[in-house]
Chains A and B, each alone.
Chain A
Amino acid sequence: MMNQGTAKTAYVFIMGIFFAVLQTCMFFSMEVFLTSAFAGFGAVTGGWLAGSAVGLFIGRAKFLPQGPKGDAVYLAVCLAAYYGFTAAVHASPFNTSLLPVHFALIAISGSTAGVFFTRNRELFPSASRLYYVENNGFILGWIIGFSGYVFIGGTFVMTGPFIAAFAAIATRIMGARECSSASQA
């Protein structure tokens, strides 16, 4: 059993891990199966930044699903776009004419980061705490993503982001249950 504060922190921390694992897997897929040139890096970085910026405003929309269920939907969309990107890269290796498609899929994935920050901006008393916890998770996620690809290879690229997303949503649901039982008590 986690208290509410721990659950919030764990959720944000694990989302940081998830974003980093996703990014490292995208970078490695791009580098190995498409191109090591700056265009590939630009597609990943530019797509992620553009998606994040758009996601910040999507996250404000009240008509979209809210709560843990809504978060699960966003993560599912994010994973679908990621696996779409991975499939496109594997199905047509070294085909840089598909870069706009890759860019769009990465942007959809990246939009989850923007949505996450907007929807969770009041989770902690200060924005600095939100960014701090998420970034610490990101650092650990970067190490996990790097080690995962180096020592496990393609299997990690296929499973790592899914496992991280599953851990994030499980923590989110547990946190919501704690919150609800605390308010009932």
Chain B
Amino acid sequence: MQSNPGAAVGGHDVWDYPALFLAGFLIALAQYFLLQEVTALSSGTEVVVLLVTIAYFTGFSLGYKIAGKVSDRAVKRLTALFFVMSLTFPFSLRIVAGALAEILPGLALLALLFLAAFVFVSYFSMLLPVYIDKRGGASLPNLYAVELCGTAFGFAAVFMVGAAPAWVMSIIYHLAFGLLAVAVLRQKVAAAMVAAMVAISAFLAPYSDAASLAYFYSRAKWLDVSQTMYSVYSPYQKVDIFKTEDGKRYLYLNGILFFGSGSLSLFNLFLTRLPVDAAKPKNVLVLGSGSMQYISYAAKHSEKVTTVELDGAVLRGSMEHFADLNMARDTPNWRYFVDDGKKFLAASNEKFDLIALDIPAPFTIQTGLMYSEDFMRLAKEKLTPNGVFSISLCGKIESGGLIANAVAAGVLNTFGDVIIHTPDKSPYSFAIAGEKLPFTKEDVERLSASYNAPSATYNKEQALAMIKDTKPMRWDNPSLPVKASFQQTKKKFVPRGSR
């Protein structure tokens, strides 16, 4: 290592290679770690994911633009500036987002997009062209290949540490950036300072993580968090489980509540318990996990209960922190698979008496695929002759909402026998469908009443009249989740009091 402060940054120095490798590594980490954080802080629907992705790529352009104009000294100064700034991530993002969301959630989104565009990757993307231009165009293949290798290692790291607590990712990020700063600055004093700062930030990471999350959720979601029970960046989403001062537990997926409120407890009751009580199925398949409260409902009547969940982090969090609700560990006839629901169904040779879909509402293309008619046809193939398919419409059919009607249209197009019901206290309607349901509309009404939540219930003809000519979601036309997500994003710019 050179100790001369004036040494050229981009000279023919071997330190250029580790610097570019680390820049590539950090580009991958930023894409998964920081963008996932921003997505979660903005309650990530498809439009938010798109905006964040565009902002991220804009950051690259900014870095390339700067690269053509900076001197060696400026590169060093920018390295120090961005490194110090990065030590505050992701904690400072939560503080900024929480403070702004309290005024207007749209402001928080804009601020986060600004940060994504100007801070997360612009510095890393700047280094490659700076080094190439110093050495001449012939160096491009070697230098670019090194950066690409770093990016590949970054993605591998994301996959490997996906199960670790969220603050572990922040330590890896800070450590990698520290090493990059050392490789660029090439000064012993600077290296010692960087090492000290990384060590302090690593020591504080668990506390900073918990405190900043609690601050954000108190300001943006009015949640009085007393304990962060579980917080991880899985390869798919940010998964957070909190306990509040009043002892309630909440599960958030990418910043969107998936379990915890009263209405979401009703969700489990009507999505799984009602069809289980009505059909007494022997072989039950539930796609998605959440709190997995359905295990305790289904296992009593069924010989086998299977959970298929794409995100192993949600499954692990649920088994650990909602064990008293789902009794998963004490249920010998329960099994689980970490897999894509579509792929699992297509590959399965089993027939099921009940298939229920317990996944977030279709505000992303990924979840939209599971609420599509194509998916329902796949599920229908795997049902026994009297098998039951259970799904939430993610809204009330009576309200004529975009999503509720489209999900209902998929069910009505796919199955011969359909009952749609809206429980009294629930914000959602539910569809129970099959080729020949082993119970009647009256049975559903009777069971709903027995849960103290009488339902407005509709048969297939009544439901068809309600949705009129609404088209279902299709794998080939996933525009609906994007439209619904756009509506959600627009709401962020409406002051809370006027909604």
Contacts and interface: CB of A to CB of B under 8 A. Distances in A.
B475 A32 contact: yes
A73 to B, nearest CB: 19
B263 interface: no
Measured as residues with beta carbon below 8 angstroms from the partner, the interface class of chain A is 35 or more
Interface of A: 28, 31-38, 40-42, 45-46, 49-50, 52-53, 56-57, 59-60, 93-94, 96, 114, 117-118, 121-122, 126-132, 135-136, 138-139, 142-143, 146, 149-151, 153-154
B61 A139 contact: yes
A45 B155 CA distance: 9
A136 B125 CA distance: 13
Interface stretch (B128-136, B266-274, B349-357): B128-136
A127 B343 CA distance: 43
B145 A135 contact: no
A36 B68 CA distance: 39
A103 to B, nearest CB: 12
Interface stretch (B51-59, B245-253, B396-404): B51-59
Interface of B: 50, 53-54, 57-58, 60-61, 64-65, 67-68, 125, 128-130, 132-133, 137-138, 140-142, 144-145, 148-149, 151-152, 155, 159, 235-236, 310, 339-340, 342-343, 346-347, 365-366, 369, 474-479, 482
A53 B145 contact: yes
A56 B140 contact: yes
A49 B148 contact: yes
B369 A36 contact: yes
B345 to A, nearest CB: 8
Contacts of A35: 339-340, 342-343
Contact of A132 (B53, B64, B346): B64
Nearest to B142: A56
Q: Is the interface of B mostly helix, strand, loop or mixed?
A: helix
A31 B367 CA distance: 11
Contacts of B347: 94
B57 A138 contact: yes
A42 B132 contact: no
A31 B365 contact: yes
A32 B375 CA distance: 10
Contacts of B61: 132, 135-136, 139
Contacts of A136: 61
Contact of A56 (B141, B340, B477): B141
| Interface-central residue, A36, A114, A138, by most chain B CB under 10 Å | A36
Given A118-B140, A128-B130, A129-B64, 14 more contacts: A36-B310, A37-B310, A57-B145, A59-B141, A94-B343, A117-B144, A126-B129, A131-B64, A131-B128, A132-B64, A132-B68, A142-B54, A142-B57, A151-B477
